[in-house]
Amino acid sequence: MASSPRDVTRVLIDWTNGHPEVLAQLMPVVYDELRQLARRYLRRERPDHTLQATALVHEAYLRLVNQKDAHWQNRVHFFSIAAEAIRRILVEHARTHAAAKRGGADPKLSLDEALGLPETRAVDLVALDDALTGLAALNPQQSRIVELRFFGGLTIEETAEALGVSPITISREWGLAKAWLYHELRKGT
């Protein structure tokens, strides 16, 4: 079922306005898009990754709908928060996996390589998360842009809408953030 931005926005606003019965309408409207997003992320993971797209979507959805103080504005806002939830789930999973292996042997991948979506190497999500935390301390907006674009799959225009800035600003900050992260990730190799 294809979701239109208007359908998602209507359901989210109704839910925020105290109509919990519309929550049952949300999953069918956003499920396919969340699943496509999850599949895209998991293609970047190691080949033996145990987390599947369906489980990732369900976990992210549960985290989203269990937020007590969320004031959903529109579809872009929902998917920007979904990007954050997906990032946290993937990083938690990666940390658990690395702890189990005590340092795992997965090759590290730079942000530029990861954004090119190579099918043969896994993104070092723990290193990327650590670098994003460092970037957030220096420039929270750039960190949020990377999160929305890389983990949320939002376009430049959608990211601009979510953050309330111009697409030109997003393009400029996206380039600067990628360069900074590339430098940080290269230091670890």
The answer for 29, left when phi > 0, alpha when psi is -120 to 50, beta otherwise, is alpha
Question: Helix, strand or coil for residue 70?
Answer: coil
Nearest Cα residue to 108 out of 136, 129, 92, 85: 129
Q: What is the DSSP string of 13-40?
A: HHHHTT-GGGHHHHHHHHHHHHHHHHHH
Buried b (16+ CB within 10 A) or exposed e, 93-116: bbeebeeeeeeeebebbbbebbbe
pLDDT in tens, 100-130: 654 444 555 555 555 544 443 456 778 888 8
Lowest mean pLDDT among 101-105, 149-153, 180-184: 101-105
Exposed, middle or buried, 53 (CB in 10 Å: 0-12/13-18/19+)? Answer: middle
**Predicted pLDDT of residue 94:** 79
pLDDT in tens, 71-81: 888 888 888 88
**Predicted pLDDT of residue 98:** 67
CA torsion angle for 155, 65, 163, 32 (degrees, to 10)? 10
Domain boundaries, the chain: 5-187
Please tell me the pTM assigned to this model: 0.62
pLDDT in tens, 11-69: 888 888 888 788 788 888 888 888 888 887 777 777 767 778 888 888 888 888 777 77
Range ranked top by mean pLDDT from 10-19, 67-76, 147-156, 161-170: 161-170
